[in-house]
Homo-oligomer: A and B are copies of this chain.
Amino acid sequence: MKKIIPSLPKGTRDYSPDEMKKREYLFEVFKYNFNLYGFNCIETPSMENSEVLNGKYGEEGDRLIYRILNSGDFLKNINNKKNISSNNLKSEISKKGLRYDLTIPFARYVSMNRDKITMPFKRYQIQPVWRADRPQKGRFREFYQCDVDYIGTKSIVCESEIISLVYSIFKKLKIDDFEIKLNNRKILLGISEELNFKNKFEKFCVLIDKIDKIGVSGLKKEMKLSKFPTSSIKKLISLIELKGNNSSKINYVKTFLSNSKIGLEGINEIENLMKIKSDFTLDFTLARGLSYYTSTIFEVVPINNNIGSLCGGGRYDDLTEIFGYKNISGIGISFGIERIIEILNTNNLFPEKIEINNNVLISYLSNDLIKNSLELANKLREKGIPTDLYSEKAKLKKQLQYANNNNIPFVIIIGEDEIKNGKYMLKNMKDGNQNLLTINEIINKMSSIK
């Protein structure tokens, strides 16, 4: 066989044991809280049929979907090969693509299983997605998404519960420097009505979403370039520079949108929410790029850190309509796994104990002691103590090095005398202390520090 120099596809990563421990800790915190709030886990296949994916993510998104080549003689039915272009051939030789997000597969799942699920349906999903994007710092071609959705209810209770869920998760992760920003798409619609650029609503959302990056002056410039009416821009700025608490912001915008039915509807929804939940910051510049949101939208952003939002989401009215299942309102939130890991890393918030691999390594000094060592290992394991056993006879130094490299805090050293006397040397790898202990004493000690 030809030898090859192995490499990873661009934009993908292996996760080492140390990285996996961090990821698993994070996923455990998510899952624990999702369960605590009554959400159920589902998983969908990595592949979806092309007609499920196509046209759902805009032109740019369509380009970034990974296409799977049909198996077998995929050119069999292609006649005029000579003049064929990549674009035409693509849909002929590929009928499936890789999951691009978790939302469309969820909508497909709900549509296909409408007779089996009980509404309101609460699900979470933590799975990788793939995008043929240009890789750069912090942006990968394979990465996990973590989505939570309510579907089949318009109740404002969902908004309130999702905000509680965010606090619950971030508290558990010890992230406290963050803010939940909230807006309502209907207010943005009302603004575009009131300022006479309803026909440019989508462009408006895209531009105002960038305000954190480009600032007010940048926004002004871009709006002028895009031919928004000059008077509207001026009025808009007054709204953007609005200070104060949520109530005063509501009062201002109520007057501002007093002629917009849709705008007032949005304000009313926020006021209803504030009756039961108010620990968020109203921000009328929040737009959320994706177009399927129709009402409440929100984002969680760290304070004093320009890493971008840590999670975000909103309410949608018609997610499943495209699959023939109408009038199903829902609301979802997506947690940005990679950014949250970055925050936890930067602020040293991963618990120390997750670095520890096994509680103890058993190290034997002669091959005659293998059987005793195996028995001891299994006694400890029966008591739930993770126990590694150095797999061959080796110099003690090498075995201790192995314990150090693998973050194993205790080593039991077994020699002839130890077996004879029923007492084993337990070495603490941190302080170097050694004690001769019976098996039961070791079990008690290890159980107490587990």
Contacts and interface: CB of A to CB of B under 8 A. Distances in A.
A209 interface: no
A305 interface: no
Contacts of A45: 8-9, 12-14, 142
Interface in A376-403: 377-378, 381, 384-392, 401-402
B17 A42 contact: yes
Interface stretch (A151-159, A334-342, A343-351, A410-418): A151-159
Interface stretch (A31-39, A193-201, A234-242, A428-436): A31-39
A386 B38 contact: yes
A118 B406 contact: yes
A46 interface: yes
A106 to B, nearest CB: 10
Given A323-B3, A374-B157, A392-B157, A35 B75 contact: no
A47 B142 CA distance: 9
Contacts of A322: 1, 3-4
Interface stretch (A84-92, A248-256, A262-270): A84-92
Copies in the complex: 2
B161 A38 contact: no
Interface string A80-103: 011111110110011010100000
Given A38-B386, A74-B90, A118-B406, 6 more contacts: A3-B321, A8-B112, A15-B44, A16-B113, A81-B83, A120-B392
Contacts of A216: none
Given A69-B93, A161-B389, A20 B3 contact: no
A422 interface: no
Most chain B CB atoms below 10 A, which of A6, A86, A89: A6
A7 interface: yes
